[in-house]
Amino acid sequence: DIQMTQSPSSLSASVGDRVTITCRASQGINNYLAWYQQKPGKVPKLLIYTASTLQSGVPSRFSGSGSGTDFTLTISSLQPEDVATYYCQYYNSAPRTWTFGQGTKVEIK
């Protein structure tokens, strides 16, 4: 089985900072890698799919990159409304499974 390791588990940054979250696969995967934002007490929201495609309506300060084993979610300028837990998620086609990373809690310093 492919293992996904997300890091860091939490981070604290100032408003306006550039924030980077990483998801690493135990072996090379296709680009079926998505990122979600979950605010406290709320439903997860899709931010990025296929590693780098911004979901409609998501602010452009969010971006995704990577290929192979290493993928990154970047918030170019952290805003107070970005306080949330972020999850990566990988789709494996054989067998068909969808696996989430452990999550990264983002707070404002």
For other proteins, which residue of 52, 69, 74, 91 counts as binding (CB under 8 A)? 91
What distance in Å separates the CA atoms of residue 74 and residue 86, rounded to the nearest whole number? 11
Phi, psi at 39, each rounded to 5°: -80, 155
Question: Beta strand pairing status for 10-13 and 104-108?
Answer: parallel
What is the pattern of x (binds other proteins, CB under 8 A) and - over residues 27-66?
-----x-x-x-x----xxxx--xx--x-x-----------
What distance in Å separates the CA atoms of residue 47 and residue 64, rounded to the nearest whole number? 9
**10 binding other proteins? (CB under 8 A):** no
Indicate the residue among 96 and 109 with the shorter CB distance to other proteins. 96
**7 binding other proteins? (CB under 8 A):** no
